[in-house]
Chain A
Amino acid sequence: MSRKISLTVNGAALEAVVEPRLTLVDFLRDQAGLTGTHVGCEHGVCGACSVLFDGAPIRSCLMFAVQADGHAMTTVEGLRDEDGSLGVLQDSFWETHALQCGYCTPGMLIAAEGLLSSNPDPTDAEIREAIAGNLCRCTGYVQIVEAIRLAAARRRQQPVTPMGDQG
């Protein structure tokens, strides 16, 4: 019943043997050791489990790891720059204090990354729309919107390639 899967996570090739019912988020956290992605509801509402799947933000609690066989994922751990330093987006979250407890933050960063990679100059309305599927109970979102706006502006001046996109 278990299946062998091969996938790319943050640019690195991974192989594993998984039960079909293992969700992608549980796989990433428990087998790939990437605990930055969080579990919040396990029914696809809160967005804490967001990862990039072939470059697009998805809810990793709503996918089984077997379905990810042959695909590429980026988690929050993969958002650093090529040289390992914090990406502009992450740094902007720090600058505006776009987080408090940090639990929704990886998912927010992924949603923001998904937005900025396709829309480098979003309006505030577009920013709010992009994170509408990510629940935060600490911040009230204002500082998060400011962070994403700041990151967009900084990136437009100086584009960088996130580490996870390599390979």
Chain B
Amino acid sequence: MTELSMTGPSNRRFVSVKRRPKEDGRFISGSGRFVGDIKRPGMLHIALVTSPYPAARILSIETGAALALPGVVAILDGAALAAVSNPLANAVHTPGVRCYSLANEVVRYVGEWVVAVVAETRTLAEDAAELIEIDYEALPFVVDAEEALDPTAPPVHAAHGSNVLYHRTFTWGPVAEDFASQPNQLSFDLRWGRSAPIPVETFGVVAEWDAGAEILEVWASIQMPSYGEQISGALGIPFNQVRAHYDVDVGGSYGVKRGIKHTVLAGFLARKLGRAVRLVEDRLENMVGGDMHGPDREFRVAVAFDDQGLVRSMKLRVREDVGGHTGRAPFQLGKPVSAIVGAYQINSVEYEAIAVSTNKTGQTAVRGFGMSPTNVAIETAIDKVARQLGLSRLVVRQRNFIRADQFPYLIPSGSEYDSGDYHTVLGKAWDLAQLDRLLERRDAARRVGKIAGIGFATCLEPGGGNSAFEPLLNPKNETTTWPESCVIKVDRTGGITAIIATSTSGQGHETLAATIIGEELGIDPNLIRVLHSDTLSGMPGNTPVASRMAIMLGGAATGAAGIIRNKAIRIGAHNLSCVPDQVAYRDGVVFRLDDPSQQLTLGRIALIAHREFHNMPPGMAEPGLQAVHVLQVPKGGSLPTADGRVQMYPCYSFSAHIVYAEIDRLTGKVTLPDYVIAHDCGTVINPDIVRGMVIGGAAHGIGAALYEEFTYDDTGQLLSGSFVDYVMPSALEVPNIKLAEHCTPSPLTSHGQKGVGEGGYLGAPAAVTSAINDALSPFNLECLTLPMRASLLSDLLVDTETLR
């Protein structure tokens, strides 16, 4: 049960109030501490030799010349590493798939890491890497995901037998009957090209074996649950011999910085060489071999609907190309189950999820964990229903929306949406966009021959990280606990220190914790110190994934603060010569209700707790004023049913995007002169942080919709493996996005907050797709391949008459 806040919307001092985030102070002065800033005595550096082939057998590796270079300390290949370590963890049950930090016996994609060179400097390691000669025997390979499904295709992991890592069809509700009963159907294919919200900082790790204490110290640019567990598992050392420090600043992650293979490599070498070892990817290592590519999907969507546009049933088939390494990727098909009907009252759903291996870079978790591509599919279906019936896309949405009076709302796949008011949020977007004027602007542009469109997306952002897709997609994984914790210490001066068990990559967790604790203890958050612990001393947690920290860390902090407050009340009452019922706690002070001038500050109470045992109330034997609170995710704890129903994510944020787009008929260049988002993430803890998540996420989404792609040729070469060819939006591509806000508090959380970390990314690609297709619709054209690049749009428009 979540501890509830002692304040509410009418009397909050700090929550929802503008406040400068604590973390910003160190970053604006250049005093952040990123992994690249960490220097350990005698630290060595790794550079990598990578595969030029999409598939090949490694015949021989010649290292003599490289080892002879001054400053080169060691060279490690995959065979040596595999002999003394365990494979990296897989998500789904695929025991025949064994991946290590370095390729062992065979390489499975261009850029895969084959040999690690360790030298006194990174530069020397690169010099040596060039001198390594590797003899390969090229093997058959497959880069097309549809071809990879064929049983005769070359298997990426021979021991697995095929390239199908996961294939299951879920049927929730009477799909066949619903399709038969509806007068209308439509179906379409949609492609979400491979991209990733690539952070400006690459992944990096420093590992150092402290032989005296027998601890492997790890500092990394990490965003990953079970990091310590997976390091110890791969290296075959006890969990408590690894300490990964959470107080390293992470330069952006958005899901991708799960550098377990980097860490195992550095950790292994650190133990073997007895010196600190550093691996910071250069950009080429990162793009091609870092295994940080995102979803790469082909959707087939079918919907059955009536003449009013009410969608009764939906079939969604999704084929996901996870590349040559597996890791977490197939689970990315599972999260969308938590909001598989989007914002709509769809009665039944068939969901066929297929994860396939190909000889390409491995896939990792990306912001939204598969929800954004799924939202594009669902929103496109709604748009097409409207178009087919000649109805407004907004009217069809409004008809299909789950209504405000229907919450909590149970969707066919077993999740219950906690709260929402989609109609009102859409209305706010409509008002802010001045939609009537925008429509007139579009129509006026079309009259002078421009290609213009307005896009709508009304999408959910599940939050809280009840990651029940784990047992859902892997029955051997019986995890139903996803905790988060907060430790609060009040020292004997009355100073407050909170300790959180996670790394942070820009989400402002220190500010989050301080604001909530400040609210609950009535103390200015600026005075509250927040520390990041590590994998050993940290209390249970699941790190920031799944838009969960406001919900989970917020709840844990509230719970811990409540424990402190209650103890303070008991000590205070005793020292005010009365019983707890006769006092109250407010703004850091315990006072007698009958005479508030009789009071004790939290500081005084803390001093009693720490030093004046003789003044403690009878029965209170524990000195000090501190608390640990560990929170289980709301509504979590159950395994899925046999037909694949389960409550996933507890909280459902929602946003309505309205975007105006123009396409240059000749060049295909897209501009987005007007972009509005109305969002509802429940109670906002910090307004500026929330705003940043919505706009920043939308910028990622614009990139995925229009610009970004890891493009492969048919020989398996990655053509966009540097920032020269992988194009990301700058300040000239992202418009001035305007926001409106609504709040439907969650009944499940401490302050009514929901998640917003995945933010605008979950709606923007759908909205831009909608706008482009609205622009193309007068010509009976459509574009359902993302990214919708200029050349693609120009090719589509080639035969259109110029309207004058």
Contacts and interface: CB of A to CB of B under 8 A. Distances in A.
B28 A105 contact: yes
Nearest to A105: B27
A54 interface: no
Contacts of B692: 97, 100, 138-140, 143
Nearest to B25: A94
7 contacts: A77-B30, A102-B249, A102-B251, A105-B30, A128-B732, A138-B692, A143-B691
A97 B689 contact: yes
Interface in B454-485: none
A100 B699 CA distance: 14
B731 A38 contact: no
Given A128-B732, A142-B695, A99 B28 contact: yes
Interface stretch (B132-140, B198-206, B310-318, B331-339): B198-206
Nearest to A147: B28
| Nearest 10 A/B pairs, CB to CB | A36-B30, A102-B27, A103-B251, A100-B506, A101-B506, A140-B699, A76-B30, A97-B688, A45-B723, A140-B695
A77 B253 CA distance: 25
Interface string A91-131: 10111110111111110010000000000000010011101
B734 interface: yes
A46 B722 CA distance: 11
Contacts of B667: none
B252 A103 contact: yes
A137 B252 contact: yes
A33 to B, nearest CB: 9
A101 B28 contact: no
Contact count band on B? 35 or more
A112 B759 CA distance: 27
Given A95-B20, A136-B200, A43 B724 contact: yes
A141 B37 contact: no
A125 to B, nearest CB: 9
Nearest to B698: A140
A69 interface: no
Contacts of B254: 137
B364 to A, nearest CB: 15
Report which residue of B200, B282, B731 has the largest number of chain A beta carbons within 10 angstroms of its beta carbon: B731
Interface in B491-536: 505-508
Contacts of A136: 200, 731
A129 B730 CA distance: 9
A79 B208 CA distance: 35
Interface string B338-371: 0000000000000000000000000000000000
Interface residues of A, number: 57
B197 to A, nearest CB: 6
B699 A141 contact: yes
B723 to A, nearest CB: 4
A104 B748 CA distance: 36
A32 interface: no
Contacts of B617: none
Given A43-B283, A135-B730, A140-B734, A100 B29 contact: no
A150 to B, nearest CB: 13
Interface in A22-67: 29, 34-43, 45-46, 48
A145 interface: yes
A109 B695 contact: no
A63 B36 CA distance: 20
B728 interface: yes
A163 B731 CA distance: 28
B584 interface: no
Contacts of A77: 29-30
Contact of B30 (A41, A95, A106): A106
A86 interface: yes
A29 B39 CA distance: 11
Interface string A71-101: 0000111011000001000110111110111
Contacts of B26: 102
A60 to B, nearest CB: 13
Contact of A99 (B24, B197, B698): B24
B570 interface: no
Contacts of A102: 23-24, 26-28, 32, 249, 251, 506
B30 A37 contact: yes
Contact of B29 (A43, A90, A129): A90
Residue among A41, A45, A91 with most chain B CB within 10 A: A41
B468 to A, nearest CB: 29
A87 to B, nearest CB: 9
